[in-house]
Structure 1
């Protein structure tokens, strides 16, 4: 049960809940400026969803797992993975940033770098260590070509 709770969507939901709560209960009268923030927020959320969909589709096409705590069957380097090693996590961060803007949760902007830090420590580094052990030279070349985030 603990493994199913320690997955990135649960962490994203936790951070989104904090941002939503801050927007509703602790705004302190601060604002990002209304309509433009809602528009940009919508663009970021849409972009995040598209990134996640592209990554999931590519992983499915390559017949490897999308679940972070499992060993990958293949090193996916095609599609969106040729631009970023972690498109799903980039998508998660875009969704978080977008909803913070949309909700006008100014104080929650600090949650974005905290979320990125948590995701990197809890998921990305352990995932990359497993890939490094399994795919050795291929993973090393991939890391030289493609950045971790963007």
Structure 2
């Protein structure tokens, strides 16, 4: 059960639930302004979904796992992986920010750095350690050329 709960998407879902609840039931009189926030929020959500889809497609093409904490069979460095070593997590963060804007949940902006920190500590650091061990110099070169986030 813990394996199902302790996944980045579960953390994202929890943060989204908190943001939605805060925006819906406790707006605290704060607002982004509806028109631009809705537009920007929609663009961020769409961009995040696209980023995730491109990353998953590239990982599938390389025939490696997309599951966190599983050992990769290939080091994927093409497509969106040229922009970020963690494009799926970047996409998750974009979705979180986009929905916070769309739901007009201003105080929930604090969730974004918390989400990034949780994902980095619980998943990214472990995944990068596995990649560094398995792919040695190839990963070291990739890590020098490509930022962890953006």
User: TM-score surpassing 0.5?
Assistant: yes
Q: CA deviation at 1:2?
A: 1.1
Corresponding residue of 1:138:
138
> Post-superposition, which runs of at least 4 consecutive aligned residues in structure 1 deviate over 6 A?
none
Deviations 1:100-122 (A, max 9, x none): 00000000011101100000001
Q: CA deviation at 1:25?
A: 1.4
Unaligned stretches of 5+ residues in structure 2:
none
Corresponding residue of 2:75:
75
Instruction: Give yes or no for the alignment of 1:3 onto 2:3.
Output: yes
Q: CA deviation at 1:4?
A: 1.8
Give the TM-score taking structure 2 as reference length.
Answer: 0.98
Corresponding residue of 1:89:
89
Q: What SS is found at the alignment partner of 2:109?
A: helix
Deviations 1:15-62 (A, max 9, x none): 000000100111111111111100100000000000000000000000
Q: CA deviation at 1:3?
A: 1.1
Give the Cα–Cα distance (whole angstroms) in 1 for the partners of residues 24 and 116 of structure 2. Answer: 23
Corresponding residue of 1:123:
123
Instruction: Give yes or no for the alignment of 1:12 onto 2:9.
Output: no
Give the TM-score taking structure 1 as reference length.
Answer: 0.98
Corresponding residue of 2:21:
21
Give the Cα–Cα distance (whole angstroms) in 2 for the partners of residues 146 and 74 of structure 1. Answer: 17
Give the Cα–Cα distance (whole angstroms) in 2 for the partners of residues 82 and 41 of structure 1. Answer: 25
Equivalenced residues, count: 150
Corresponding residue of 2:55:
55
**RMSD between aligned residues:** 0.6
